[in-house]
Structure formats: structure tokens, C-alpha cells
Structure 1
Amino acid sequence: MKLVIDARYTRITHHDGISRYTAGLIEAVKSKADVTMLINDERQLNLLPDVPYLKVTSSTSVLEPLVALQVNKLRPDVVFSPMQTMGTLGRKYQVILTLHDLIYYSHPHAPKFLPAPIRWGWFLFHQVYWPQRLLLNRANAVATVSETTARLMRKHRLTRRHIGLVSNAPSGSFQRRNQELKPKKTLLYMGSFMEYKNVETVIAAMQDLPEFELHLLSAIAPQRKSELEKIVPANANVVFHNGVSDQEYEELLSECTALVTLSREEGYGLPLVEAMSMGTPVVVTDMPIFREVASESALYSSPDSPREFADKIRILADSATWQDYSRRAIERASYYSWERSADQLLNLAKYVIDHK
């Protein structure tokens, strides 16, 4: 099988969720199939595995609808895109497009760093379902990262195509922590600061956790940082890191009490699995996607109750309880691996070939 993977969403200097997902899949699949990747900037190669590649136009180019005319020269059997927006006009191959989640139908405002025209288009796109259906129905099959999202896709009839699971997974670089060492009284948040992430409730809960430090790890815009600083309780310890390296992230995960999030919507929750793979307990929103990903290994809280969240954190203050949840986390995280995800992708690719 000749498989092409669209890696044009890979970042230049550091991974985000889609970028890491793409690189992880390519690394795992390259020993199982004849893989070529698509890039649009050679600097992307610094964050990608060493496999053959074709440089094509950017995914944001006005020529994107016709990108298949460039890809055809590779004569692939199947092209996999980690997004649903890849151009397909004139293609001579089977294609799998990906929809990670339906978050922006509930929270349709785009990230503020995007240009205004794109933000308005983003907002309008997510007011109705038919544009998404047009995108997804161009594919031979559609991939998603969770059964929760697959159920929502079927509920809203987003595609007539077969839906297959190609899960996310933690990086192989994360090493299991020493469970015998007493954890520091630190809590970590890794993720964006968009409104649906509900960081405000986590910050409010720190009023009842004066002995703990909350570390907000991700890069944050100055305006958003100022907004959040204003609501930090007087007796709370909140540290803004404005971005950390993978090495710093792993070090902080290896010594903290828990990774936390009270997000109102998620498509998967990769930071949860990364933390659990090291044996770090997680305290998260009680919602279907986190129940699917973490099962009985997490502590769950309402996203609207700072006090309930604080109570869950205090449960982990007991050493025996913390070690119990650490063991649960490792056991659950073992269910997710890039090797398993690669097999899922190849099975989906075989499906579309068999159902031409």
C-alpha cells in the first residue's frame, strides 16, 4: 500500500495538537507501509520523522482546492489528512479526511490570533451543519479520534461515509515517574486559554487550595493573561509559564500532584493521556469524552463548582489514595499507543481500498 499523509499542519518551532498527532502517526506507520508525507515548508521537517516527502502548496493557499493535482504525481493508493479541509478536486486516489471534534458548534468563536476574515468565516461555518457535510462527504472514509465524537457525528448526520477511529496517543518520550516520591503540591494545566477551556473555574478553586500552586503552562496572549490575572484570588498561588519545552513539561509532570482541566468541551484530551502515561493522576470535567479516555483512572468534577474541584484535589493529598490513582492512570494510559493508532489507520486505509 502506498500511503500519503498530509503533514502540512505541522508547526515550525513546536508541536500543537494536530502537529503532534500527525508526527506520531507518521513515525508509527512508516515501518508498516510505504509512506510519503506532504509538507509546504522545509522547516517542518525538523519536527517530522525521516520519510520521503513532497513539497506542495500551503493548506491556507487559494490553490488548496486543487492540491490533489500535485499529489496525483505520487500515485498513492490512499491519502490521509489529519483535517477535513484538504482539497480533493481532480484526485486519482482514495482519501480519508479527519474530524477531531464538534467543539466549535457549541463554541463557534475562532482563536483571536487568526485574521478577522478567517474568524468571521469560522463563525459562520459553525452556525449550520451542511458545510461540514459537504466537506466530509468528499472523502471515501472519515477518521476521528474518539467514539464520543463518532457518536456525535452520527447523531448530527455529518457524513454518509464510513467513520473509523484513529486515536491520539502520548509521546513515547514521556517516562514513568517514581511513584514512591511524595508529589509536590502543584497542579498543572496544559491547554489553550479559549473560553470553553474554562480556566476561570480552576483559578477560582485555588481560593480553597492555598497550600497548592496552579501552574498554567501554555503560551498565552498578553490581553488574555491580564484578564485571568485579575480574577486570581488574593490568597492563591498561580504561575503563568507562557509556554514550556517538552523537557520542562515532563519534569513538571513528574513531580506534581495532578494535571487538571475543567474544560467544557474536548475532542480527546491528549494532556490527560500524557500525564497518565507517567503515572500522574488527573482531575477533570465529568463529561463523556473524559469518561471515555480516562475511565476509572480520573477524579471527576463539575465544571461549574470550584469547591467540588477543590474537594477532589484534597482527596489526592492522602498518600495511599494518590498512589492508587497513579497506578490506575498508568494502567489506563497503556491502552493508547501510536502503534495501535497506526494499525487503526492502516485498517481504515484497507477498508477504503476494498470499497472503491
Structure 2
Amino acid sequence: MRLLVDALPADFGGIRTYAEHLLAAWGATDDEVHVVLPADSDLPLPPSVTAHRVPLTGPRSPARAAAQSRHIPRLVRDLRPDVVLATLPSTTMRRLDVPLVVVVHDLRHDLLPGQFSRAQRLLRRVSYGRGYAIADAHLAISQRTLTDLHTVHPSTRATPSAVVHHGADHVADWPGGDRSGPAVTFAHQVNKNADLVHDGWHLLGPEAPRLVVLGKPYVSDEEYAAHLGAASVVVLASDFEGFGLPVVEAMRIGVPVVIGPEPAMLEVAGGHAFEMTAWTPTEVARATRAALAADARTIEMATAHASTFTWAKTVRETRALLGSVL
């Protein structure tokens, strides 16, 4: 298979993590993989993947949209790929001469619009809507995301789709498991509910471990791995996720995880996280106490569950969807 991957949006955060590890695993296949990137991107690529770098001038989001509609059709003409995989629904606005599969991460902007500015909502409404419409298949990173897509945009039900989970085996070389450090939570987006975690921490009293809040500012990959590896517990009180990668990352390295009653995280945790029943400080405190008291057998079962999430499996299932539209 000759594949062209639109990784122009993969600048930072979860989309960068997804693109990096997906492409790394794809490098182990016999496919001919090409990826389009911003000229200044430092996204690591395996030697077998060919990069096509394009300049982005002006404000990032509109510049990226213009570059996608200009360069992806050009690369399709030049490379003649069998299929194009867009790492976000926001991709070229122009229909292509080959099948297009778009990856759908979440629909938070549709379901919780108050967490986005008017400009962000407008940009996503236009660009994502076009991506959904011209795609030959939709790849959702969780069943929660696919259900949301079909509910909010009923016309997408007629398009082939599949749920393909992320991998977590990129953490195999991370330090972890001693549970001697502070607790870790997140604040890089409003849906992470860092204030709620702080309120719950006050209820824990003197037994509470020190709480480290990641995300403001972003930390490097190495710092992130070190924080999770030493954590006594990871607390994700988020009210909306498309997948919740830190859930399986922490489980994979033997760290107990607290999650809110959020469908995507419940899906990927598979019953191996310590679940809050509501987004309240009391529930943060209760679930955290239980996580801190987790025994070795509970941790082992969570690790075994997280070990089933591999990037090789992600590639295999993604290839199956791509193959279905050829």
C-alpha cells in the first residue's frame, strides 16, 4: 500500500503523540508511507517514512488549512497514493482522486461549546464538517467518539467507519511502578477540571500526597514520562475525553488511575481504574483514597489490561479500514 498521511495538524499534545507513534509503528510494515508536515516540524519519523515539508505562513490555523487544500491534492497527483489518511477531520477542503480516511478524536466543540471561543467553534464547524462530508471512511479513536459523531452528525452514519484505539506500548521504557512520588493531574485544557481536583485534595487532609499539575506550561516528553513514572496516583477528573491516553499510559507502568464517570475513559480503562461516581470533591477524595490503597494484584491486572493497547495493533486495524475503501 502507498499511503499519504496528513500530519500538518500534529504540532503538539495528543494529536502529536498519536501521529508520532502511529508512524513509528507503520515504519515496521512493507507499506510505502509518505507524510506531509509543516516545514518547521520536529516530529520524529522512522527512516522508512518519507517526509514532505511545506511552509506555513501567517496565523497557524488558517495557514495550515490553506496548505492542506493546496499541497495534499498536489501530492496526490505527484505520488499517486492508494489512500490518504488525515490525522484530523480538518484536512484538505478539496475532494481527492483517491480515497480519504479521516481520524476523529472527539466532538467536544459540538457537545461542550462553552469550552471554546467563537472563532474556534466556527473554524471547526467549517473544516471538520467538510472533512466528514468528503471522507470515504471515518476512523474514531473510541466508541464514545463514534457514537457522538453519528449522533451529532447523523449523515455520517452512511459512511464506513471503525473504532481503533491508541497504543500505549510507547511507555515500555519509561520509569515507573515505585509509586513513591506525588500525585499527578492535568490542567492544559478546561475540561481537565484541575480546580475540582484541588478541592478534592483539601478533603484528603494530611494523608494526601503532594499534587503536581501538568499542562501549564506544557512539559517536555521526558519530563512527562518522569512525572508519570514516579507518580503515586494519576487523577483524571476530566468531564470530556476522546480517548484519555494517560489512563492506559499510567496503568501500563503500574500507576493507579482515578477517573471521572466519563464514557471514553471508562471504555479504555476497562474496569481497572478507580472511578468517581460524580464530578464532586468528595468523589475525588474517595476514589483517590482507594487508588492509594491499591494492592499489587489490582495494579498487575490494570497493567495487563493496558498492555493490550499496542501501536502495532492500531496500525493493523487502521490498515484494515484503509483497505476496505480501496
TM-score of the pair, normalised by structure 2: 0.87
Structure 1 stretches of 5 or more lacking a match? Answer: 112-118, 221-241
CA shift, 1:272, in A, is: 1.0
Per the alignment, residue 235 of structure 2 pairs with: 260
Per the alignment, residue 169 of structure 1 pairs with: 167
| Structure 1 position 327 matched with structure 2 position 300 | yes
Per the alignment, residue 119 of structure 2 pairs with: 121
CA shift, 1:177, in A, is: 5.7
| Structure 1 position 44 matched with structure 2 position 48 | no
Whole-Å separation in 2 of the counterparts to 1:19 and 1:60? 19
Greater fraction of residues in helix: 2
Greater than 6 Å deviation, 4+ residue runs: none
Whole-Å separation in 1 of the counterparts to 2:214 and 2:277? 22
Per the alignment, residue 115 of structure 1 pairs with: none
TM-score of the pair, normalised by structure 1: 0.80
Whole-Å separation in 1 of the counterparts to 2:176 and 2:54? 45
Instruction: Look up the SS of the partner of 1:149 in the other structure.
Output: helix
Contact 1:57 1:64 in 2 (8 A): no
CA shift, 1:251, in A, is: 2.6
Whole-Å separation in 1 of the counterparts to 2:170 and 2:102? 25
Per the alignment, residue 192 of structure 2 pairs with: 197
1:44-99 deviation digits (Å, cap 9, x = unpaired): 24533332122235473235433333222111010101111111525221111121
Whole-Å separation in 2 of the counterparts to 1:110 and 1:313? 26
Structure 2 stretches of 5 or more lacking a match? Answer: none
Contact 1:84 1:136 in 2 (8 A): yes
What is the correspondence of 1:117-196 to structure 2 with a 5 Å cutoff? 119-124=117-122, 132-156=128-152, 157-159=154-156, 160-170=158-168, 172-175=170-173, 179=177, 181=178, 183-184=179-180, 186-190=182-186, 192-194=188-190, 196=191
Whole-Å separation in 2 of the counterparts to 1:30 and 1:48? 8
Per the alignment, residue 24 of structure 2 pairs with: 27
- Aligned identity (percent) is 24
Instruction: Look up the SS of the partner of 2:211 in the other structure.
Output: strand
1:223-271 deviation digits (Å, cap 9, x = unpaired): xxxxxxxxxxxxxxxxxxx443333322332232211111111100011
Corresponding letter in the other structure for 1:145: I
Instruction: Look up the SS of the partner of 2:138 in the other structure.
Output: strand
Contact 1:198 1:303 in 2 (8 A): no
Root mean square deviation of aligned Cα: 2.4
CA shift, 1:187, in A, is: 1.0
